[in-house]
Amino acid sequence: MKRIHVIGINPTGFDRGQLKFLAYLVPLALVMLLPLVFIMFNAFKPLDELFLYPPRFVTTRPTLQNFANLTATSVNKAIPASRYLFNSLVYSLAVVVLSLLITSAAAYCMSKKRYRLKKILFELNTISLMFVPVAVGIPRYFIIHRLGLIDSLLSAIVPLLAMPVGLFLVKQFVDQIPDSMLEAAQIDGASDYYILRRIILPNITPALATVATLTFQSAWNSTEASIYYMHNEAIKTFSFYLTTLTAQGENAYDMVAALTGAGSAASAVAGMGIAAAGTLIMLLPNLILFIFLQSRVINTMAHSGMK
């Protein structure tokens, strides 16, 4: 009898049948990694390698001077660069925690509760996916102004708590939880808060991991609050700080030139090093978070449409 060998979707061991997949996926993965490798090594390149042609992906003489110059651009100001970085971390973590709580509770109500306008509210949430942030910028400003949050820490948190795509994804997972399980818990006297904490949340962790990743990226890279809602420099974010490097004083290059005594050409190169260092700092938290949560994110995308 001819033996038929079936390769599973997630095999635990290596099989020769996997070679045809590896031959295609490994080169593709290497190509996708090239931009990450370039960003990482570019931040540590000395001045003479930054404009080297043809460019090198890997630096031969790594240095921390670019990060020193990034910090030095704010020495003439009362607010150091580390303050902006701290603000971004605080805002991002606060947005992630609050968004997970709000999204999970809203998805539970949208999926398992019965009330009027339930379908209309979910349809409105779906329609809101079509609007880009720029389209709601003016209404959002009026809301922040009416709430009295201008020049407040909350102005960088509150606008990012409403995440339609997060609610949509989490609701798909809550829909898969059997109603009989929740009814049994209610018969035993469980409250909605108990059901949410002990039944809903443990069963939707892949979706929550995806929402946490998307929310953190949105909050970490956001400059809207610092530009439109904040006047106090001490509460602005690191992403906003990076956008202003080319506008501080005459410009950031002149500041580096004044600090290092270099000419305009050398200061321009140093300015490119500052941008490379800032880009790496902005990339690392997103990359680290995705590496730890990638399996759950992929699981969410694979099952979000299944019932």
Say if 14 falls within a structural domain: no
Residue ranges making up the domain that contains 141: 71-303
Q: Are 241 and 230 in contact (CB under 8 A)?
A: no
Q: Among candidates 167, 166, 194, which has minimal Cα distance to 182? A: 194
Q: Distance between terminal CA atoms of the chain?
A: 39
Q: What is the pLDDT of residue 273?
A: 77
Residue 52 maps to a domain: no
Q: Domain for residue 42, yes or no?
A: no
Q: Which long-range contacts (CB under 8 A, 24 or more apart) does 113-122 make?
A: 122/171
Cα-Cα-Cα-Cα torsion 245, 247, 252, 254, nearest 10 degrees, comes to 180
- The CATH number linked to 157 is 1.10.3720.10
Tell me the residue type at 140. Answer: R
Is residue 3 in some structural domain? no
Domain-embedded: residue 66? no
Residues 132-183 have pLDDT tens digits of 878 888 888 999 999 999 999 899 999 888 888 889 989 988 998 898 999 9
Per-residue pLDDT tens over the stretch 249-295: 344 444 444 444 444 444 455 567 788 888 888 888 888 888 887 77
11, pLDDT greater than 70: no
Choose the weakest-confidence range: 12-26, 30-44, 81-95, 221-235: 12-26
Per residue in 86-126, pLDDT (tens digit) is 999 999 999 999 999 999 999 999 999 888 888 899 999 88
- Looking at per-residue pLDDT, the higher value among 293 and 212 belongs to 212
The answer to whether residue 293 sits within a structural domain is yes
- pLDDT the model gives residue 279: 86
How far apart (Å, rounded) are the C-alpha atoms in residues 58 and 45? 9
More confident residue, 133 or 185: 185
Asked if residue 11 is part of any domain, the answer here is: no
Share of the chain above pLDDT 90, in %: 21
The listed range with the strongest mean pLDDT (16-20, 72-76, 193-197) is 193-197
Give the pLDDT of residue 300: 62
Number of domains the chain contains: 1
- Mean pLDDT of the chain, nearest integer: 81
Residue 238 CA, chain-centre distance (Å), reads 14
